[in-house]
């Protein structure tokens, strides 16, 4: 039996499993989402068609309970092993309210490491933590799939490979893998953005794989998105400044404008732990601050097409003797 036939049987069996899960345990509030739910009798071709039409997909129960538990345990280990005394105290800023987006050498060097970035609300004016270190971290990234087996196993699994094929990818390369913690009470706002802004190829090709490690709700800052907004090209790029010091955004002029979409209502993606959200790189999405007493842990990585131009302006650059991880 050929590899392609085996792969198709794998994705079909996965789809059948997911469809049974939806039919037996789907809650009404999770079933109206415009994102495409994989359901009984849908195959890889249908998934690709719906992904292209809607800009994303939600697959409940993609991860097993054991996988979620193992990923959470590894995340907790990383948090506990943080050495604050030796850390440059790099804060992850999204560039809102006139602040510059994060862009120091610690950030640039994180492409193949497990580097720690603090929440803006975790550090006081004196430069010291205001909360316990385990509650202070915004995210850990951006090379977890390269160095930590529990994340490698998920990111490069046969199911992920088949999903990448189903979304039409030919030579997907994995990059920017990270844990995002959305800490209780201080988890910061993530403003509306498109992932292709940060991982730019010519033509654009970014695809996001977003795994819920806890239940994600409006209260703790779930993803929100504008349906079909991937039809609008990106209008800016996040790049390294000339000379390699810091980052900035540069405009990409085109005829279409996000303004036509930005005023449309956002749809919340309230999903259960173990769910996978697939995100087109041009989809406009955001998340609100987490003011609740519950965290919102997730693991995510992205893929781009390996044979598309990925230039030196992009913030994430592998070292000269390395290349981005091949998925297929």
Give residue-wise pLDDT tens across range 134-186.
Answer: 999 999 999 999 999 999 999 999 999 999 998 889 999 999 999 999 999 99
What average pLDDT does this structure show over 229-235? Answer: 90
- The reported pLDDT for the residue numbered 100 is 55
The DSSP code sequence of 242-306 is: TTSSSEEEEE---S--THHHHTSPPEEE-B-TT-EEEEETT--EEE--B-SSS---EEEEEEEET
Residue with the larger pLDDT of the pair 116 and 42: 116
Give the model's pLDDT for residue 59: 87
Evaluate the omega torsion of the peptide bond into residue 150 and state whether it is cis, within 30 degrees of 0: no
The per-residue pLDDT for 50 is: 73
For residue 200, the Cα-to-chain-centroid distance in whole angstroms is: 15
Residue 151 in tokens: 């994340």
pLDDT, residue 277, reads 93
pLDDT of residue 220: 97
Count other Cβ atoms within 10 Å, centred on residue 309. Answer: 10
CA-closest candidate to residue 313, choices 119, 103, 172: 103
Given this model, what pLDDT does residue 31 score? 39
CB distance 114 to 179 below 8 Å:
no
The per-residue pLDDT for range 284-306, each reduced to its tens digit, is 999 999 999 999 999 999 999 99
Mean pLDDT value across the chain: 84
* Percent of residues, the chain, with pLDDT higher than 70: 81
Of 34 and 180, more confident: 180
5 band by pLDDT with thresholds 50, 70 and 90: very low
Neighbours of 126 (CB within 10 A): 7
pLDDT at 88 over 60: yes
The pLDDT value recorded for residue 30 is 35
Q: Which CATH superfamily is domain 3-326 in?
A: q2cbj1_9rhob like domain (2.60.120.620)
Strands 56-59 and 36-37: parallel
pLDDT at 80 over 80: yes
Q: What is the mean pLDDT of the segment spanning 26-53?
A: 57
pLDDT value of residue 259: 56
Residue ranges of domains in the chain: 3-326
The mean pLDDT value for 220-246 works out to 90
């Amino acid at each position: 039996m050929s590899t392609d036939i085996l792969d198709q049987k794998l994705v079909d069996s996965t789809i059948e499993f997911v469809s049974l899960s939806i039919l037996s345990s789907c809650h009404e509030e999770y079933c109206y989402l415009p994102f495409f739910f994989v359901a009984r009798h849908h195959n890889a071709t249908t998934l690709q068609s719906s992904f292209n039409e809607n800009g994303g997909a939600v697959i409940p129960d993609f991860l097993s309970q054991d996988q979620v538990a193992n990923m959470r345990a590894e995340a907790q280990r990383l948090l506990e092993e943080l050495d604050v005394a030796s850390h440059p105290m790099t804060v992850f800023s999204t560039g809102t309210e006139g602040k510059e987006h994060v862009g120091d050498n610690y950030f640039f060097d994180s492409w193949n490491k497990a580097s720690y970035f603090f929440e803006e609300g975790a550090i006081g004016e004196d430069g010291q933590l205001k909360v316990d270190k385990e509650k202070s971290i915004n995210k850990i990234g951006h090379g977890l799939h390269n160095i930590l087996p529990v994340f490698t196993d998920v990111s490069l699994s046969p199911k992920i490979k088949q999903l990448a094929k189903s979304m039409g990818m030919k030579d997907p390369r994995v990059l920017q893998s990270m844990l995002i913690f959305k800490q209780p009470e201080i988890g910061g706002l993530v403003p509306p953005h498109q992932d292709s802004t940060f991982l730019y190829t010519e033509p654009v090709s970014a695809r996001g794989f977003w795994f819920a490690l806890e239940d994600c709700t409006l209260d703790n800052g779930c993803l929100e998105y504008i349906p079909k907004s991937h039809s609008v090209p990106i209008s800016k790029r996040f790049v390294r400044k000339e000379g390699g010091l810091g980052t900035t955004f540069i405009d990409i002029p085109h005829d279409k404008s996000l303004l036509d979409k930005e005023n449309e209502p956002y749809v919340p993606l309230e999903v259960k732990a173990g769910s996978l959200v697939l995100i087109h790189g041009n989809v406009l999405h955001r998340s609100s601050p987490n003011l609740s007493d519950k965290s919102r842990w997730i693991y995510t990585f992205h893929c781009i097409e390996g044979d598309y131009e990925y230039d030196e302006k992009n913030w994430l650059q592998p070292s000269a003797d390395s290349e981005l991880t091949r998925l297929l």
